[in-house]
Amino acid sequence: MNLKTILFLLAFSCKLLSAQKYDCYKSSFDTSLVSEKLGYQKKLSITLPDEYQSSGKSPNYPLIIIFDSQNSRSYTYLLNTIDYLTANEQMPASVIIGVESTMEKRYGETQLEISDSNAFGSKNEDFILEELIPFARQNFQTLNYNLLIGHSRYGYFTSYLFSKNHPEIQAVISASPVFSQKNLDILKPIIDLNENYRGACTKYLRFGIGNDYPEDFQIMDEALKGRKKENENLSIAGYLFKDADHNVTPGLTVGRALYEIFEFWSKQQNTFIRSNDNLTVDYSKSQEKVSKHYGAELKLSLGILNGKGWEYYNNGKYEEAIEAWQLTFKNYPSFSEALLFEMYAHMDLKRDYSKIKQAFIDDLKASEMYSPAEKAELFKELDELENEIPLKGQN
């Protein structure tokens, strides 16, 4: 990748920062979901990728559910961590749902009836699997790839959900969990998954523990080390932050865990961006490997696909640049600039660009990715481009 391409990618990411609260995500909004399973309303905070379009003209996304969104300090930090990793191509853009809990209900939601007859964790399990995940899929175009993040009581509860090997849950990150409650030890079911899991895709469990439950960390760590053989499709690992306080473990755990969970995805992107054989074939190979590993089609990022177009364009490979931007637009139809950049390449090839120009105008008007000011700037860029070279491409 040459310097111009690198500078463009940096400028592309920074453009979003200046226009949005986050680099790669729209500002969050609040809503609620009345749960029939729980018998009461759950408050939700929704954060969508910047290229998301409510019309359905955008890819489907992984779903990240973060529990205890009422803890604003921790929740804001986790959102910014996800945004940072997304902007730096270390994880795919995702739909993020924060789930609020009240002090009154939180214990009951995260305890099982086998441990406390007054608890209702099984109802919360049904809420997550039968109401919340389908709600996200129906309303926000999420894939069947669901990652849960929980702390403390919800660290225990999300670890419990992982131990049950639900097909709807592909990854769990738990901070400061315990692994046993009265009449229920989830350590053994988690370890048994190493022998019993036969799924084709890779599942992930990451847990981080500080100075609150070091004994639980030691027990789990020794159990993991005692496995005769690791299951290549089941990735379980933990981190000990021996002097970290209870409220610090989410921030210390989640960034590293997300990096490890999506490291394979990032590697495939790097392979694609470095390849110069056959663009369409290379993309299909990388996407196929990602889909097989995660069990869902986690798209390569907009920045990587767009960057590939600029790599070709800067090297005078205009046909290849056109192919790359067509691939970008196919995967991210809200990114109207792909059509504008394709027009650049047609102009350099002295071709008629009138159809692609009209497609750009129509798509930009309908796109939900750009603010009115950004749309005005792009229309201005189009005018300046044609005024500078009024006849180019019209021969």
DSSP 349: T
What residue type is assigned to position 299 of the chain? K
Alpha helices in the chain (DSSP H): 3-19, 72-87, 103-110, 121-126, 133-140, 153-163, 187-196, 214-225, 249-261, 263-274, 279-294, 302-314, 318-331, 337-348, 354-366, 372-388
CATH topology of domain 21-261: Rossmann fold (3.40.50)
Residue 272 burial (10 A CB sphere; 0-12, 13-18, 19+): buried
The domain segmentation of the chain, as residue ranges, is: 21-261, 301-388
**Contact by Cβ (8 Å): 61, 95:** yes
Q: In what order do the strands lie in the sheet with 61-67?
A: 29-35, 40-47, 95-99, 61-67, 142-151, 171-175, 203-209, 234-240
Q: What is d(CA 105, CA 174) in angstroms, rounded to the nearest whole number?
A: 20
* Phi-psi map region of 201: left, alpha, beta (phi>0 left; psi -120 to 50 alpha): beta
Nearest alpha-carbon partner for 140 in 20, 59, 258: 59
Rg for the chain, CA atoms, rounded: 23
The one-digit pLDDT tens for each residue of the chain (395 residues) are 333 333 344 344 434 333 347 899 999 999 999 999 999 999 999 999 999 998 877 789 999 999 999 999 999 999 999 999 999 999 999 999 999 999 999 999 999 999 999 999 999 999 999 999 999 999 999 999 999 999 999 999 999 999 999 999 999 999 999 999 999 999 999 999 988 999 999 999 999 999 999 999 999 999 999 888 889 999 999 999 999 999 999 999 999 999 999 999 999 999 998 887 789 999 999 999 999 999 999 999 999 999 999 999 999 999 999 999 999 999 999 999 999 999 999 999 999 999 999 999 999 999 999 999 999 999 999 998 887 754 343 33
What is the distance between the alpha carbons of residues 277 and 279, in angstroms, rounded to a whole number?
6
| Domain 301-388, CATH among 1.25.40.10, 3.20.170.30, 1.10.3430.10, 3.60.20.10 | 1.25.40.10
* Crossing angle (nearest 10°) for helices 249-261 and 72-87: 30
Question: Token pair 């996407």 is at which residue?
Answer: 287
